[in-house]
Structure 1
């Protein structure tokens, strides 16, 4: 029964995430453990796993849609140099290093290249979920990570086109050219020629962005004029799922399509309202994705091959650390960012859990600020709410200024009365009024 399975999933996930939260373990780990418990390799509490996977796939689409709403086209343009300078060497370097090692181990080049392509990819959903939970998508290392993840999603198209050629070279007859996106679904490209597939993918990307800038805002304007909140929400869901479906038809991932849909709406006047409407569903549905991933974990295989699994995880982390051009990251952020990037994308694994607090700490302040003066333009209050980062970037008051007590959130009287009506002038006016009353 679908309702009973869903109830069991949420009940077990709530208990496990609460217990892990008491130990300050990220919620993603708790959701994965909950999936192991209710899955077919655990206690087998859920009978209809495919329904949970379907809802999980929708959750990933909604998650990437909200991430796109927090970006803009101008920010994406600024990420292009990061993709070329950091993302491309990381993807190509990881593929070559793994392929060289597997060629020495297996002795067959096609299988070695295929293994390198698999290891070079990262879990977009897991990394962006952790960055969003810590409000670090706008941080220097967060922007670099998102840029690399977007490049990897685009690189999947080339990898899918290379799979039939590798299978033919290895003497295996490929059945399809399907690939798996971030949500676990299979997207099959209808194009067999590489140039046709690349042209179709580029045309779809350009069409989505163009429609998001010209067509969708006008449609939303007409919807808003009716003052119907349900209609507005249904229109947003239609744009999100429709864009994801279109990108999946040409071999791109559902997650990339949802991100582009959010990106197209981010610059419009309805971007904030769309984010507010979708936010209540994002975390609930995205949680099902991590539970569904945990359902796929065979605990008995993990225990029987614990040494091999541990060695593989460590090898992936080491290879991706070597492939990341760390010295280039110094130009894109503070001095700690290049160290964080080494451990943010080695999935499968818990490398993304290395992401910690604000990138500016004691002994690592910018030259134009005193020690202890805080991270500057990025206000620490941005951690209290996902949308707080936008206001924090506009607020140039640091922890050491007169903006208020950042830990309590209280503003000073000068901040409350505005820049021109300070507390002294307001007090004098009140005092004069009292004297006049006498």
Structure 2
């Protein structure tokens, strides 16, 4: 029995890998691949798992990790700033959509209680698909995605009354719905307040202590445990597990551990999210789809159109931009994963028949399959619906600059980008900036600055900014991963344009050069160069010699400015332990393995450290000859990554 189950799991993984690889070649999103793999593995085709609902709990943990990651993107002040969207647009969408579909369900012969449940199911959207897709596209922080996320957050809250009401609808006898819902609301307020308090006062201390241990496994385990505990707490109080995970992540969103937490949890999240979509595909009943395929398809189309219009209407009530409203509606027009949970619970308690539940699940799977396609084209469709005369200001601005030649393209219009722009303007050099902060872009437009809204790592955005005609692309934000994406996108469009990247430190210097950057400017080293220039000037060194030395350092990629002698106060974080460069003095005693060898024999390239200097008899040997033989008492000054320095010291002293 165990062997058979193991084989089924291996076959399922093989199907998932094969489907994801095939769909990637066709430029289709992996979500569709997981859904297709689920259909193949489900009861209708290969029957690897006759009861896919048994895997639902494990798959739901994927949603827990997804919401935990989402919470890391939102701080409490940010959520409070979005309260009008969450409790305004979100509540409006949920109430109107539930009411409308409840009336339709009642009109076609479904009992009133069941019709309300059906209305609520159809009103929900897929948090998993929408957030995963916009995150992969790098669009999570723009206005349209923020509006969609606000609605999704309210929908997650709205799931709770339905989960409470369904068991009550199956009970006989008198009971007070108002009393039960009131108790549930009080429980919700209590558990949210508890999680917020724990997150503010306890979690930072926990992760501070865990980080001090410098044990990777402990950090990962603690992250997973916190996410699951928060999810379990809300579930125990009758709320959705996703809500607890979101609150826990939100409390850690402002901590210095945010990026490491996100990196640690990503592998588990992605694998379990894939499993979730596989289980969704398994629930698709192909017999029902074949028998009622036409009506189900028409129902999906009608459902998606109506939901788009309702979200646009709710967004308009709160004076959201028309393009944002349509775009958010297109993102949210599918049926959500919590609808499957509600459908399963309603079927178990006899509120819905098995056939009704199957039709709704089939509609949900089809709508989910269409969602990735719609999300990638949501902005284009939204602009088409609004009309050509009401295009975004950034698009109009892009057209105005389509013919600009030999300009500087600035990726990121923060303080650094704006400072560069002012200097360029003073010299009469044309420029175009790209920024993803809608408020900053709006303010800049009002001031007449040539700034486009968008993600600079997207080739379409770069093309709109005339990257192929630009003299220079300047990446000003200190995010090496995003900078590498911008470099890659630029190099796919043009090899002729120079690319300059600004970074705070020199950790990613080589990686950015390898990505295709023409020049990388680390602020720490440049600041040191300016300080050194001033010191040399006041020390009486001629300015021509100072400028020559500065140019030499830049040309040599700041070779003499890398590395430092570590001390007791040197902080080595989880993310920098393999990026720092230390300088270390190795004293050669009479038993050192390298005594009697020449410097050339030590194979510095194999040791992967640099020789910075040689001291003999208390004095420094300038430009030591590679043929010089090492003696007892010599001091070798070496530089490199901490672990490499340790290995090199062992080799020099002990050999091997």
* Residue in 1 that maps onto 2:547: 429
How big is the shift at 1:322?
2.9
State how 1:2-17 maps to structure 2 within 5 Å: 2-17=5-20
Structure 2 residue matching 1:297: 3-state secondary structure: coil
State how 1:78-227 maps to structure 2 within 5 Å: 78-106=81-109, 108-163=111-166, 167=169, 172-173=170-171, 193-227=180-214
Residue among 392, 396, 399 paired with 1:364:
392
- Between 1 and 2, higher relative CO (CA 8 Å, sep ≥ 6) is seen in 1
Aligned residues: 401
1:72–1:266: 8 Å Cα contact kept in structure 2? yes
Instruction: Tell me the TM-score normalized by structure 1.
Output: 0.80
1:64–1:259: 8 Å Cα contact kept in structure 2? yes
1:5–1:48: 8 Å Cα contact kept in structure 2? no
Q: Structure 1 residue 290 and structure 2 residue 277: aligned? A: yes
The 2-side partners of 1:380 and 1:330 are apart by 29
Runs (5+) with no aligned partner, structure 2: 336-363, 402-431, 438-453, 460-464, 476-485, 492-498, 502-517, 531-542, 553-656
How big is the shift at 1:203?
0.9
User: After the TM superposition, which of the residue ranges 129-138 and 361-370 deviates more from structure 2?
Assistant: 361-370
Assess, with a 3 A threshold, how the Cα gap between structure 1 residues 353 and 433 changes in structure 2: closer, same or farther: closer
Runs (5+) with no aligned partner, structure 1: 178-190, 385-396
Structure 2 residue matching 1:135: 3-state secondary structure: coil
1:375–1:398: 8 Å Cα contact kept in structure 2? no
Q: Structure 1 residue 416 and structure 2 residue 414: aligned? A: no
Residue among 261, 264, 287 paired with 1:300:
287
Residue among 352, 355, 362 paired with 2:375:
355
Larger Rg: 2
* Residue in 1 that maps onto 2:42: 39
2:327–2:379: 8 Å Cα contact kept in structure 1? no
The 1-side partners of 2:143 and 2:551 are apart by 51
The 1-side partners of 2:224 and 2:544 are apart by 49
How big is the shift at 1:217?
0.7
Structure 1 residue matching 2:474: 3-state secondary structure: coil
User: After the TM superposition, which of the residue ranges 300-309 and 100-109 deviates more from structure 2?
Assistant: 100-109
The 1-side partners of 2:547 and 2:107 are apart by 83
1:73–1:263: 8 Å Cα contact kept in structure 2? yes
More strand by share: 2
The 2-side partners of 1:356 and 1:211 are apart by 38
The 2-side partners of 1:78 and 1:237 are apart by 28
Residue among 21, 24, 31 paired with 2:27:
24
Instruction: Tell me the TM-score normalized by structure 2.
Output: 0.55
Residue among 397, 413, 435 paired with 1:376:
435
User: After the TM superposition, which of the residue ranges 408-417 and 93-102 deviates more from structure 2?
Assistant: 408-417
How big is the shift at 1:48?
7.1
Structure 2 residue matching 1:403: 3-state secondary structure: strand
